[in-house]
Structure formats: C-alpha cells, structure tokens
Amino acid sequence: MRKAAIFTALAGVLLALVTYIASEIGLMDVRTFFKLGFIGLAMMILAAAYFLFSSLREMTRETDFFRRIL
C-alpha cells in the first residue's frame, strides 16, 4: 500500500508540474488548468494523509503510553 501512496504522490506532483508548464506555454485554457491542478493537489493530499495515519498507527503500536491510557 505504501508503494501505491508513493506512486500517487509522485503522480500528483508530476501532474501539477505538467499542468503548470502547459499553462505557461499556452497549450491549455484556465478552466482545464484549474481542473487538472486540483486533481494533482488532491492526489498529493491523499498520499500525505495516508503516510500521516500510517505513521501514527505505527507510533501507537510502539509506545506503551497509549496502551496505559486506553
């Protein structure tokens, strides 16, 4: 699953960069720019959220602090 999250993050960054470059050159209009840019941003946010939650889950498994509280 981590490989899929890394791929999603990289694809999001690549999509955002390609969208920006194509917009600067004049290959696409503003509406398409925002649509593809938003999709790339969403992909990056989803991958970051996955890594955040997976690291929190691993941290709670390793510490006894949460086991004593819960």
Residue 70 in any domain: the answer is: no
Query: In the predicted model, what is the mean pLDDT of residues 21-43?
Result: 86
Residue 68 in any domain: the answer is: no
Number of domains in the chain: 1
Residue 6 in any domain: the answer is: yes
Residue 27 in any domain: the answer is: yes
Residue 25 in any domain: the answer is: yes
Residue range 33-67, pLDDT digits in tens? 888 888 888 999 999 999 888 888 887 776 666 66
Compute the distance between CA of residue 21 and CA of residue 17 in angstroms, rounded to an integer: 6
pTM: 0.71
The pLDDT of residue 37 is 84
If one compares 64 and 23, the residue with the highest pLDDT of the two is 23
Domain coverage including residue 26: 2-62
Residue 67 in any domain: the answer is: no
The pLDDT of residue 65 is 64
**Residues sharing a CB contact under 8 Å with residue 6, sequence separation 6 or more, in sequence order:** 47
The pLDDT of residue 69 is 63
